[in-house]
Amino acid sequence: MEVKVSWNGPSGMSFRAQTGSGHMVAMDGAPGGGGHNLAPRPMEMLLVGTGGCTAYDVVLILQRGRENVLGCDVTLQAERAATDPKVFTKINFHFVVTGRNLKPAAVERAVKLSHEKYCSASIMLAHSVEMTHSVEIVEAP
């Protein structure tokens, strides 16, 4: 896997990334750090990738278990260290899984399997970050 990140030039702190799969992503810094707030911060992108990784796993695990899953949202709330390097110190994952007749045990199992076995991003972060999760199940009409 490879990505190339390029600075957009001397007028700020924005960057563009091209992924190995051919997609472009923009990133920018906060105005206080020389950025123009035109795109997500790099640390936000880390959370985006982690959230996408675990949500993907949860949906796939539930589908393979023949659960009638119709939606999956995960909100990540992170805390960072006060001083440099401002690493993440805590991340809470709140899953809202929507479906018909979803078994709570199956949803909890899917989240647990993602965090303990399948989600490379969250497993990697768990080595240095306190991680918690909560699950909410919504019955679809």
Instruction: State how far Cα 10 lies from the chain centre.
Output: 30
pLDDT, mean of residues 124-137: 97
- The strand pair at 68-80 and 24-27 is best described as unpaired
Residues 6+ apart with CB under 8 A from 121: 49, 50, 53, 54
- The per-residue pLDDT for range 32-61, each reduced to its tens digit, is 999 999 999 999 999 999 999 999 999 999
pLDDT for residue 1? 94
pTM of the full predicted structure? 0.93
- The per-residue pLDDT for range 6-21, each reduced to its tens digit, is 999 999 999 999 999 9
Instruction: Decide if domain 42-139 falls under CATH 3.30.70.2740.
Output: no
Provide the pLDDT confidence category of residue 4 given band limits of 50, 70 and 90. Answer: very high
**What are the residue ranges of helices labelled H in 12-125?**
42-64, 104-113, 120-125
Q: Name the residue ranges covered by the structural domains of the chain.
A: 3-33, 42-139
Q: In what order do the strands lie in the sheet with 15-19?
A: 3-7, 15-19, 24-27
Provide the pLDDT confidence category of residue 130 given band limits of 50, 70 and 90. Answer: very high
Residue 24 has φ and ψ, to the nearest 5°, of -105, 140
